[in-house]
Structure 1
Amino acid sequence: MAYTITHFAPETRGRIDAFFNRFGQGMNAYLEAKAHSARIEALEAKTDEELARMGLTRDRIVAHVFRDTYWL
């Protein structure tokens, strides 16, 4: 016969919740950074003329990508 624990002590539940909270925050940060780096690479692959049509210069690519995160 198998037993399953369905009740955790409050301090144990708090530690488990904290672990998954930190793990989730780390995943969010990783995915956001990955998306930003992909966007930067895509813009850097464009020609200067293509960037100019978008109203960008090469030195402003990073600021453009992170404009929603930081006020650059």
Structure 2
Amino acid sequence: MTVYLSIPGVRPDPVQSQIDLFFAELGLGVNPERAVAPRLGELKRLHAMSDARLEEIGVPRDQITAHVFRDRFHR
């Protein structure tokens, strides 16, 4: 279950929300900022794709971050 903090007037960034959740679920002593920076472009590129295109390449939208980090962090 995903829980989002709702702050009036602030729209959450779905890419950052998924990154935050991914690393929180890992529970590792990882510096997410250093791990994410080199892959942020790929994360944003995939999030910008339509659901149909993501389905074509076999990546569910809620698994984009896990897909991008599959070589470093296995869940």
**For this structure pair, what is the TM-score category when the shorter chain's length is used for normalisation?**
0.5 to 0.7
Post-superposition CA distance 1:28-54 (Å, at most 9, x none): x84x53221111000000000000000
Of the three residues 32, 39, 44, the one matched with 1:36 is 39
Q: Which residue of 2 aligns with 1:56?
A: 59
> In the TM superposition, what whole-angstrom CA distance separates every residue of 1:15-72 from its partner, at most 9, and x where no partner exists?
xxxxxxxxxxxxxx84x53221111000000000000000011100000000011012
C-alpha separation in 2, matches of 1:69 and 1:36: 12
C-alpha distance in 2, partners of 1:60/1:39? 13
Structure 1 gaps, min length 5 = 1-28
Structure having the larger proportion of residues in helix: 1
Q: Percent identity?
A: 33
Q: TM-score, normalised by structure 1?
A: 0.53
Cα distance in 1, alignment partners of residues 51 and 36 from structure 2: 25
Higher RCO structure (Cα 8 Å, ≥6 apart):
2
TM-score for the superposition, normalised by structure 2: 0.51
Match of 2:4 in 1: none
Show structure 2 runs of 5+ residues with no match: 1-32
Query: How many aligned residue pairs are there?
Result: 43
- Largest Rg, 1 or 2: 1
